[in-house]
Structure 1
Amino acid sequence: MLLKMIRQYKLQNVQTTQCFVRLLASNSKNNHEKVKFDSSATAYGHKSKSELFRGWFVFKLCSYSSLVNNLSQLFNISRTILGQRLFEYIMRSTIYGHFVAGTNKTELKPITERLRKHGVKLILDYCMESDISSNNNQQKINSSILNPSNENIYNENLLKAIKNVQTAAELYGSSAMIAMKITAFVPPDILQKLNQILEEQQPSTKLSILEFISNTSTMNKDELTEVKHLIQRINRIIQEVKKHNGRIFIDAEQSYFQTAIHRLVLELQEQYNRDNLIVYNTYQCYRKTTLNLLQQDLIRSKTNNFHIGFKLVRGAYMDQERKRAAEMKIIDPIHPNFLATTESYHRAFVETLENAKNNPNKVHIFVASHNENTVQFALKTMDLMNIKRDDGLVSFATLFGMCDYLTFPLAAVGYDAYKLTPYGPIHRLLPYLTRRAQENRAIFAKAEKDRQLHYKALKERILH
């Protein structure tokens, strides 16, 4: 019913979302307790005065685009001038301390306990990834990916990923969740070639990726071996997750990797999600193909009888995708503006939620959004469909250090709320922090509410 209603609106602008939100609001049964997204006490009650000041200061700094655009160079210059020890102290007092939960399990534990008291859980991410450069040579993106042709590097990353699973299990037991990126475990040029093959030839889903490329001459022996090793590594990680009764997000990445990643994750879901939900796929709603892809995946999960988990995001590579499309003179793979992406996100949520309601315990959705309007849309849609907060169909997630005014009020009234939490040594996280700041420069520039609420909470704490 909801899909028919939302499809009545064909305008590719704000009217679509506004009309549907008003429709939801007018028909809402309000079975959820009203969530107050302007309560500084609820959002930041878990923070100390120094953490509140640091949060306000960091958001203020990140609102300056000239600083964000040159963050990598500033890191390098500061480290050279100040020395490693003083540089790390300053980083802990500013951007690293705000957006990263710590370097190891010892530092994670008190944060985990503090958030648990407020009903917020963590999704642990020991950040590792790699990318290709514009001229198709290998480029270091994460300091852990030193030489993409070196097998030892990917095996080392495998061990770190397994350790991440074990750390999450020790901190959270059977409710542990982790996140990871496929590019940490394979040379990116191999993944890009596999992606191109799958896009051009579109093999039947009845064949696995490995079966398909083994029966074609599109990859040489060494390339085929790399793909085999990738699949072995990912299976080893998921087996460890399954051993600890945990769950795993496999993140989406750039469009020139994403078809291969998505296809691989679907195979993993079909393999491991038979009895319960272990593996989640990520859907970038700024991609024009996402809604059709999501619909096809729902059909496949029903046909082949496996559980399916959706992590809905807007997308994190907008600048890079647009630049690449212009340079290669290809069609831009992402929606033309924020409003079109919002409409895509909302339609994806309605589609998955209707399927979740009709297939209880088979479909689960993570609303991974920093947009308050989208979160409100999700709550009102749940009301209209008479889905309770504890029905186990919908969870909410934001990045550690961002939009606490969304996550903590949701958790306070009983919604399933998470923080996607990076951790690791400072030198390993510098590329992540640089990319995170640059990807979210628009969010930081407009994060007036986050800054104001940090300031309000700090002022109230000092006065009282």
Structure 2
Amino acid sequence: MPLFDDTQTAFESKSDKDLKKAHFLFKMIANPFLTKVGTVMFKLPFATEIPLVKPMIRRTIYKQFVGGETTAECLKVAKELSKYGVGSIMDYSVEGQEHEEEFDSVKNEILCLIDIANKNPVEFPFVVFKPTGFGRIDLFEKVGKKLPMTEEEKLSWKKICDRFEEVCKKGFEADVTMMVDAEESWMQDSADNLVDEMMQKYNKERCVVCNTLQMYRHDRLDYLKNIYQKAEAENYFIGFKVVRGAYMEKERARAEVENYPSPIQPDKAATDRDYDAALKFIVEHNHRISLFAGTHNEHSSELLTKLMKDNGIENGYHKIWFGQLFGMSDNISFKLGNLGYNIAKYLPYGPIKEVMPYLIRRAQENTSVAGQTGRELSLIEKEIKRRKQNA
């Protein structure tokens, strides 16, 4: 049997009722028309206030893809996942802040997550945050492009740097690994520089601060190799979450409108090639680099298990982690956990209204990624059939 076709292990934690609900949901997502209508409707400011809409969302798409509205609800989900060797990463999925008090609120939430992870290291091996959770995207862009800033903007940028410093320092003191998400290419240079600064400061003895590489960008493999050379020369540890990426259509459209070369790979094959090359490079240089391979791609996940074996690395090696989103690719996550690999699910949380942008993206991505929803459906159907036969 292929490694990730084991549906009994994949869905061991789910009841028959849970499986049927998941099957219904993915059937809905598989319909582009329904997904489009739902996306338009839920973008309306008052959508979640319509009677019965919020309970419907909570029972369906919210339950499938979100850990809960609070950290306490997430902790219950995480403890259940940990029974099957699967860790969790609480992802505060509130987006679109613009004001200093909102950025401070996000920072304070991340500080709370560090305390929770410190007290529950098995359930929560990492804490993650988005750079733009700490400040406006236009400031990141201006700093990255070395554009002139007003005195007020300079003060705001200093506050962003202070927020980075505060959470990374606390992660270091609490012995909690911090992962910083990647975002749009036009703001990423300044975020990369900030994260590298934090790595130089806090990764002297082990990897406390990790950056993220989106391999749909054609320059990321070279960036990885350059940062490795820098870390070797200056003797500090580095870590990367490696993903394919989440902003491809937006990136191409902006490059066309503003008439600059697209930072995106020419095709998916090029992205896949660089993704797998990044895994190989990191595994072969694991004395210096830690890896979190965030992927729903079965080939890349299996490739990483083979790379580890070929390099004499045990399944539970602390510097190598696999990761998927909560509610997706349980056939990968639970199988790897069953085999003793380090695996963690991204576990988003937050009030329904504020998490709606995240949920809309999940639905759109499942519709647009070739074969993703079909694969989820076929695995669920296979397990439902297996259970009926064994009843």
**Greater CA drift, 110-119 or 71-80:** 71-80
1:65-464 to structure 2, matched below 5 A, reads 65-76=32-43, 80=47, 83-84=49-50, 86-129=52-95, 142=96, 145=97, 148=98, 150-172=99-121, 176-197=125-146, 218-356=148-286, 359=287, 362-443=288-369, 446-461=372-387, 464=391
Q: Is the 8 A contact 1:35 1:409 kept in 2?
A: no
Mean CA deviation greater in 430-439 or 114-123: 430-439
Query: Do the aligned partners of residues 79 and 174 (structure 1) sit closer, same or farther apart at CA in structure 2, a change above 3 Å counting?
Result: closer
The one-letter code of the counterpart of 1:429 is V
Unaligned runs of 5+ in 1: 1-33, 130-141, 199-217
Offset of residue 332 of structure 1: 1.2
Distance 1:60 1:159 in 2: 39
The alpha carbon displacement at 1:49 in A equals 2.2
How far apart in 2 are the matches of 1:49 and 1:444? 27
Q: Normalising to structure 1: TM-score of the pair? A: 0.79
User: Taking structure 1 as reference, are residues 241 and 444 closer, same or farther at Cα in structure 2, changes over 3 Å only?
Assistant: farther
The whole-number CA distance in structure 2 between the counterparts of 1:119 and 1:164 is 21
CA 436–239 in structure 1, closer or farther in 2 if over 3 Å, else same? same
Q: Does the 8 Å CA contact 2:110/2:127 hold for their aligned counterparts?
A: no
1:58 to 11, 25, 34: 25
Aligned-pair CA distance for 1:370? 0.5
CA contact (8 A) 2:67 2:348 kept: yes
Say whether 1:36 aligns with 2:36: no
- Segments of 5+ residues of structure 2 without an aligned counterpart are none
Post-superposition offset of 1:461: 4.1
| Partners of 1:454 and 1:237 in 2: CA distance | 40
3-state DSSP of counterpart to 1:94: helix
Q: CA deviation at 1:79?
A: 5.6
CA contact (8 A) 1:335 1:341 kept: yes
1:462 Cα deviation from its structure 2 partner: 5.3
Query: For residue 94 of structure 2, what is the amino acid of its counterpart?
Result: M
Q: 2: CA distance between counterparts of 1:302 and 1:244?
A: 26
Contact 1:125–1:180 (Cα < 8 Å) also in 2: yes
| Pair 70,153 (structure 1): closer, same or farther in 2 beyond 3 Å | same
Give the total of aligned pairs. Answer: 390
Query: CA shift at 1:126, angstroms?
Result: 0.8
User: Cα deviation per residue 1:337-362 (whole Å; 9 max; x = unaligned)?
Assistant: 11110001111111111111xx2xx3
Whether contact under 8 Å (1:317, 1:439) holds in the other structure is: no
In structure 2, the residue matched to 1:13 is none
> TM-score, structure 2 length as denominator?
0.93
Q: Distance in 2 between matches of 1:233 and 1:369?
A: 29
Matched residues in 1 for 2:258 and 2:130: separation? 25
Deviation digits for residues 414-440 of structure 1 (CA, Å, limit 9, x no counterpart) = 111110111111111101111233244
Deviation at 1:171, TM superposition (A): 3.4
In the alignment, the residues of structure 2 paired with residue 57 and residue 445 of structure 1 have an alpha-carbon distance, to the nearest angstrom, of: 17
Identity of aligned residues (%): 30
